Chains A and B, each alone.
Chain A
Amino acid sequence: MSILGTRVVRTEDPLFLTRGAVYTDDLTDERLTGALHATFVRSNVAHGTVTSVDASAAREAPGVVAVYTAEDLGDLQPVPPPLPFLDPGFARPWLVPVGGRVHFVGDLVAVVLTEERYQGEDAAEQVVVDIDPLPAVVTTKAAATDETVLFPEVGTNKVAAFGEPAPEDFFADCEVVVRREIVNQRVAAAPLETRAASAAWGEDGRVTIWCTNQGAQQAKGQIAGWLGLDPSLVHLITPDVGGGFGAKIGADQEYAFVAWLAQQSGRPVRWTESRSENMTGMLQGRAQDQVVTIGGTRDGKVTAYSLEVTQDCGAYPRIGTVLPTLTMLMAAAVYDIPKVHAQATCYTTNGTSIGAYRGAGRPEATAAVERAMDLFAAEIGMDPAEVRRINFIPAFTEPVQTSSGATYDSGDYEAALDRVLDAAGYAELRAEQARRRERGDVRQLGIGISAYVEITGADSGHGTAENAQLEVHPDGTATVLTGTSPHGQGHATTWAMLASEQLGIPVEKITVLHGDTDRIPDGGGTMGSRSLQQGGAAVHQAAVELVEVARKRAAELLEANPDDLEVDLANAGLSVKGTPGTGVTWAQLAADEQLIVQTTFTANAPTFPFGAHVAVVETDVESGKAVVTRLVTVDDAGTIINPLLAEGQRHGGIAQGVGQALLEEILYDEDGNPQTSTFADYPFVSATELPSFELVEMATPTPMNPLGAKGIGEAGTIGSTPAVQSAVVDSVAHLGVRHVDMPATSMRVWRAIQDAQKGSTN
Chain B
Amino acid sequence: MIPAPFDYVRVSTVDEAVAALAEHGEDAKILAGGHSLLPIMKLRLAVPSVLIDISGVEELSYVRVEGDEVAIGATTRHHELEKSEVAQAEVPLLPHVASRVGDPQVRHKGTLGGTVAHCDPASDLPTALLALGATVVVQGPSGRRSIPITEFFLGFFETAMEEGELVVELRVPRTGAGGWAYEKFTRRENDWPIVAAAAVHLPDGSTGVALANMGGVVLKATAVEAALAEGKSIEEAAELATEGTSPSSDMHADAEYRSHLARLLTKRALKVAAGETEASTAESTAA
Contacts and interface: CB of A to CB of B under 8 A. Distances in A.
Asked if A and B touch directly (CB within 8 angstroms), the answer is yes
Interface of A: 118, 121-122, 125, 274-276, 443, 618, 620, 622-623, 625, 627, 629-630, 663, 667, 675-676, 678, 680-681, 683, 685-686, 688-689, 691, 745-747, 750-751
Contact of A683 (B1, B187, B284): B187
Among A118, A625, A676, A685, max chain B CB count under 10 A is at A625
A627 B283 contact: yes
B284 A618 contact: yes
Nearest to B267: A622
Interface of B: 1-2, 4-5, 43-44, 185, 187-192, 251-254, 257, 260-261, 264, 280, 282-284, 286
B282 A688 contact: yes
A118 B251 contact: no
Contact of A121 (B1, B187, B192): B1
Given A125-B44, A689-B188, A276 B254 contact: no
A683 B192 CA distance: 11
10 contacts: A623-B264, A625-B185, A627-B282, A629-B283, A683-B187, A685-B188, A686-B188, A686-B190, A691-B286, A747-B252
A274 B284 CA distance: 36
B190 A688 contact: yes
B261 A623 contact: yes
Given A686-B188, A686-B190, A747 B284 contact: no
A622 B267 CA distance: 12
Given A622-B264, A676-B251, A688-B188, A122 B283 contact: no
A118 B187 contact: no
A706 B261 CA distance: 58
A690 to B, nearest CB: 10
B110 to A, nearest CB: 15
Dominant SS at the B interface?
loop
Contacts of B43: 276, 678
The 7 A-B pairs at the shortest CB distance, nearest first, are namely A688-B189, A274-B1, A618-B284, A629-B286, A747-B257, A627-B283, A675-B251
B260 A745 contact: no
B2 A623 contact: no
A745 B284 contact: no
Contacts, number: 61
B251 A750 contact: no
Contacts of B280: 620
A46 B52 CA distance: 39
A681 B253 CA distance: 12
A424 B187 CA distance: 26
A681 B251 contact: yes
A683 B188 contact: yes
B185 A667 contact: no
B71 to A, nearest CB: 33
A624 B19 CA distance: 52
Contacts of A630: 286
A274 B44 CA distance: 13
Contact of B284 (A121, A629, A686, A750): A629
Nearest to A125: B44
B270 to A, nearest CB: 15
Contacts of B190: 686, 688
Given A623-B261, A663-B188, A683-B188, A122 B5 contact: yes
A667 B250 CA distance: 11
A747 B253 contact: yes
A627 B5 contact: no
B189 A683 contact: no
Nearest to A675: B251
A456 B160 CA distance: 62
Contacts of B254: 747
Contact of B257 (A125, A275, A750): A750
A276 B185 contact: no
A627 B189 CA distance: 11
Among A275, A663, A676, A686, max chain B CB count under 10 A is at A686
A125 B192 CA distance: 29
Contacts of B260: 750
Contact of A443 (B1, B189, B284): B284
Contacts of A622: 264
Nearest to B286: A629
B74 to A, nearest CB: 25
Nearest to A272: B1
Contact of B189 (A275, A686, A751): A686
B1 A745 contact: no
A621 to B, nearest CB: 11
A752 to B, nearest CB: 12
A669 to B, nearest CB: 9
